[in-house]
Every structure is written in structure tokens, then in C-alpha cells.
Chains A and B, each alone.
Chain A
Amino acid sequence: MGFAMALSEACQNIVEHAGTGGWVAVHAYRFRRKLGRKVAVIAVSDGGIGFRRSLEATQARRFGERWGDAVALEAAVIQHTSRFRDPGRGQGMPGIKRYLTRWSGKLTIRSGTARIAIIPAWDDDVPMTEGLAPFPGAQLQILIPGAEGTA
């Protein structure tokens, strides 16, 4: 998967799951201190129903009392769960993660009161943050370091 495919898959989540429109921005930064190179950042956001409500009808019973924003994010991002029964669904997230692994990239998704992160070795973020101020939709950020020597 390349950059354009990661962008496409990230944006499709809004169309497929949010039940509303959204926003996307792509920007290049210099991460001089942390990485010593340029990074490309894809930010996708929507004010839709969020991960918990999107997955609730098909997944909440499976998790029982644990069900909440954090568990919904884990189900989608770690277990690649989709609310659709079509066995071809749920391939976008693993595709994005494969692409980020190849480039030592980072993925964060905030939805509801939780935020999950797939963290590369160069970053010291935490995998899961709970108890955040409620955000009704989802905010997804993909950070892709450039090749060495791009600072």
C-alpha cells in the first residue's frame, strides 16, 4: 500500500461509518529533534457517530460490561472488526498498519472519550488514553516519516 491508498482507505471510513461528511488535510512537517527528517501527516476527521456507536449493534454484546469507547477502538484498530457482515470488510485498517510498519509510521485515532495509538519505536506516546473530553465523531491521524536525509 502506498500513500494514496492509505489516504483513500482513511477517508472511506467517514463515508462508510460516520453517517456524515468530514474533513481531510495533508501536510508535511520537519521533525528535526525526534526523527531528523520530514514527515507527511494525514488528518481525517468527522463529526459522525464515532467508533462505539458504529460497532455497538454487532459488537457490544461480545464485550459485555467492558464495552465503551476504548474497547470499540481496540476492536476496530487491533482486531480489525467491522460492523458489516461482508467477509471482505475490515481490510482497510490492517492495510494502513502494514504501510505504517514499512515506514515506521504512527497512527492515532480519537473517538468518544478514548484515543488509541499504534506507536513506532522512535515515539514515546501511550497506546491507549481514556477519560478525554468527549468527541462525537472520530479524529484519525497518520504520520509517515520520509526517507533519511529529508530533514
Chain B
Amino acid sequence: MISIRLEQVLREAVQTAYSNLVTRPTGRAVRTSIQDRLSTGEWAIATLDFTNIQLVDLSCADEVVAKLMADPPAGTYLILHGLHDDQLEAIHHVLEHHQLAAVARDPVRGTLRLVGAATADEVQAFDALAGHPALTPAALAALTAWEEDRARATLATLARRRLARVLEDGYAVPFER
């Protein structure tokens, strides 16, 4: 697992004294730098840490988060960390625009949630996964009172969208506790 501090990436990529992720050129430079870091190893999980970032505008959110989620680095699950409400809102809108979703980790409570375009089933299944080390379709069906086919299809969709990992004993959120 690798943690990438966006504040540091921003300072190195555009040599700014500010901690604002704004404008598309800035977003492109930051995304390229993140992709370069991820290419240095085979990371199962990468946390994009927004701690100390002040502002994330829609253009930069699109260039950094949406484009990374649309074309994720091979084999790596991305987690967004340290976002405050305004930043989450901006990222939610750009992901929704592209019909994408991402996993965000609450900086205070440590809980995981989906942000962006996700169906009610996907959100419910993800929330169930977040409360367990791993769940099989049968276990999710028992928790949610769904038919097992519905649970299996929803978990498969989460895995296809890289919002859940497939383990030997079922599905899990993409996070190492």
C-alpha cells in the first residue's frame, strides 16, 4: 500500500506555495506525477491523501480524480483520504458526470464510503462490505434480505468498477485494516 500526499505532489509538480488544487493544467501535472509514482511499483492499494489541501475545484477534480478512476493504474485500487465536505461535493459531481465512483475514507472516523455515481444497491452492498472483513454473495444476501443472485450481481459490479476486491473467501472493501 502506498500513500500519496497531494499537498507534496502539488508543490513538486507545479512549484506553488499554495495548497489549492485548481485549474486543468495543475490537475494534469498532478495526475501525471501520481501516475509516475504508481508506476514505480506494484501497489495493491494507493491512498490519495488530500490532507492540508485547501480547495479542489471541478476542473482539477476532473483532471486528477475522474481521469485516474476512468483509467486506473493496472492492479491498483485507489482510495481518497482527507477530503472535507466541499472537496467531496466537487469530486462527487465530476465522478457522477462520468458515471464513475470512488472509495473515500473519512479522515476522522476512518469509515469508508462511496462517492460519485453508485446505485442504491451498490451503496448498500459497499456499506455492508465496509463492516466486515469479507462477504460472500450468500452472506450479503443474508444481511440485506436480498435474493442471492442480486447480491452476487451487485458484488460483481463493485469488483468490476474496482470498488471492491475479490478475495479467496469473498469480496472486501479495497482497504487494509
- Measured CB to CB, the residues of A under 8 A from B are 1-2, 4-5, 8-9, 12, 15-16, 87-88, 91-92, 95, 98
A12-B24 contact given A88-B66, A88-B98, CB 8 Å threshold: yes
Cα A95 to Cα B98 with chains together (Å): 15
Among B4-12, B56-64, B109-117, the stretch that binds chain A is B56-64
B89 within 8 A of A: yes
Interface of B is mostly: helix
Q: How far does the Cβ of B31 sit from chain A's closest Cβ, in whole Å? A: 12
**Chain B, Cβ-Cβ closest to A91:** B58
Chain B interface residues (CB < 8 Å from chain A): 20, 22-24, 55-59, 62-63, 66-67, 86, 89-90, 93-94, 97-98
Partner of B55, one of A8, A88, A95: A8
The reply to whether B23 and A2 contact each other, CB–CB distance below 8 Å, is: no
Q: How far, in whole Å, are A4 and B63 apart by their CA atoms in the complex? A: 18
Report the minimal beta-carbon distance from B123 to chain A, rounded to whole angstroms: 22
Which residues of chain A are within 8 angstroms of B20 by Cβ–Cβ distance?
4, 8
Known: A88-B66, A88-B97, A88-B98. A1 touches B23 (CB 8 A): no
6 A-B residue pairs with CB within 8 Å = A4-B20, A8-B57, A88-B94, A88-B97, A92-B58, A95-B58
In the complex the two chains form, is B86's CB within 8 Å of A5's CB?
yes
> Are B58 and A16 in contact, with the CB atoms below 8 A?
no
| Shortest CB distance A4–B (Å) | 5
Whether A2 contacts B86 in the complex (CB less than 8 A), given A8-B22, A92-B58, comes out as yes
